[in-house]
Amino acid sequence: MATIEDFGLIDMRVGRIDQVEDFPEARKPAWKLRLDFGPEIGDKRSSAQIAHYSREELEGRLVVAVVNFAPRQIGPVLSEVLILGVPDEAGRVILLRPDADVPVGGRVY
């Protein structure tokens, strides 16, 4: 069992996807993303296997991401944050997001 202290170690924040780029080098269909987490954290990069979302659906979208994992090299992309999602019945990852407009950089509790 995890404790509430364990949960407190994971820093989840709201970010806004500012830029979506093609990622043709990826083994599975994916996007390269740049996210804005506000003045405290700034811009971060990530890659995500969420090709079922169009560029237009992603740009400007609020998402929830873990911002304090060590960066991970994904091919030519250094992924700095882990965007959170849940697979649907078809296995597509559905992104987690707030259901209201909240400030970027807001911490998830």
Each residue's pLDDT tens digit, 58-83: 999 999 999 999 999 998 999 999 99
C-beta of residue 41 within 8 angstroms of C-beta of residue 80: no
Domain ranges in the chain?
A: 34-101
- Residues 45, 88: Cα–Cα separation, whole Å: 25
CATH 3.50.50.60 corresponds to the domain 34-101: no
Q: Name the band, by pLDDT with cuts 50, 70 and 90, for residue 11.
A: very high
